[in-house]
Amino acid sequence: MDTPSQPAASTIDPALLARVVKGDVQAFSQLYDQSSTLLYTMALRMLGNKDDANELLQDVYLEVWRKVSRYDVGRGTPLAWLVTLTRSRAIDRLRARNSRAQQRLADSLDSASQVPDHSPSPFDAQADQEIRMLVLGALSALPSAQQQALELAYYEGLSHAEIAARLNQPLGTVKTRIKLAMSKLRESLRHCWDHGERV
């Protein structure tokens, strides 16, 4: 799969998904063009490997094509659905990767397990760079405890209970931090979604 190069859209018209449900290949292509840059960047950030990110994106769009009829407009925007789907599949891969790494370590203590490279990638599409800077700015404005909880949840794929254990904090505190952080991010970035809407 080629690296996505189209600019990411901040909103996707639910009517586009309705056309995809009917098997409209052109609509599916348009959906890919509008969302692939954002989803690829997120997958790459979470998985730390271009090949894995490309493979994940292919799996996500295959699942979208097969299961788009399950999308419920009442549960969120199309873009939020795609982001959630991508994040879930990336977390599945990270957990599988960690499980395989633990098995290799158990099989042979002499073998070194490979740690994913989480350094910033050279993939810097111009349209995506602006979104990235806005999100990073909004993240940096959060209190450090909220930032840390979000990073563990979204970049390492930890559950609330796993975050609480790692930070040695009550589960309720972790949940509250994540909820407050998401609310603050939503407010900070609301203007991005408003400006990105198309008639």
Look at residue 197 in the predicted model and tell me its pLDDT: 41
Same domain, 167 and 100: no
Same domain, 93 and 160: no
Same domain, 148 and 181: yes
Residue 13, in any domain of the structure = yes
Same domain, 57 and 86: yes
Residue 136, in any domain of the structure = no
pLDDT tens digits, residue range 117-172? 554 444 445 555 666 667 777 777 888 888 888 888 877 778 888 889 988 989 99
The residue that leads in pLDDT, 111 or 68, is 68
How many of the other CB atoms lie within 10 Å of CB of 186? Answer: 11
Look at residue 146 in the predicted model and tell me its pLDDT: 85
Residue 75, in any domain of the structure = yes
Look at residue 148 in the predicted model and tell me its pLDDT: 85
Same domain, 1 and 43: yes
The residue that leads in pLDDT, 105 or 50, is 50
Same domain, 107 and 148: no
Task: Using the 3D structure, point to which of 61, 95, 123 is the last residue of a domain.
Answer: 123
> Coil, helix or strand for 147?
helix
Look at residue 104 in the predicted model and tell me its pLDDT: 60
Return the half-sphere exposure (C-beta side, CA atoms, 13 A cut-off) of residue 71: 28
Q: Which two tokens stand for residue 135?
A: 């999100």
Residue 39, in any domain of the structure = yes
For range 99-110, the mean pLDDT: 56
Residue 71, in any domain of the structure = yes
Q: Which two tokens stand for residue 110?
A: 């002499």
Task: Using the 3D structure, point to which of 97, 123, 149 is the last residue of a domain.
Answer: 123
Domain that holds residue 196: 141-199
Residue 4, in any domain of the structure = yes
> Coil, helix or strand for 91?
helix
Residue 67, in any domain of the structure = yes
Q: Is the pLDDT of residue 84 over 90?
A: no
pLDDT tens digits, residue range 171-197? 999 899 888 888 887 887 776 655 544
Look at residue 132 in the predicted model and tell me its pLDDT: 64
Same domain, 63 and 147: no
Look at residue 26 in the predicted model and tell me its pLDDT: 93
Same domain, 116 and 147: no
Residue 179, in any domain of the structure = yes
Q: How many structural domains are present in the chain?
A: 2
pLDDT band at 99 (very low <50, low <70, confident <90, very high): low
Residue 144 class from Cβ within 10 Å (0-12 exposed, 13-18 middle, 19+ buried)? exposed
pLDDT tens digits, residue range 11-67? 788 888 888 888 889 999 999 998 889 899 988 888 888 999 999 999 999 998 888
- Whether 147 contacts 139, CB under 8 Å: yes
For range 94-110, the mean pLDDT: 62
The residue that leads in pLDDT, 104 or 56, is 56
Q: Is the pLDDT of residue 80 over 90?
A: no
Same domain, 27 and 114: yes
Same domain, 111 and 35: yes
Same domain, 101 and 186: no
Same domain, 20 and 48: yes
Residue 41, domain CATH: 1.10.1740.10
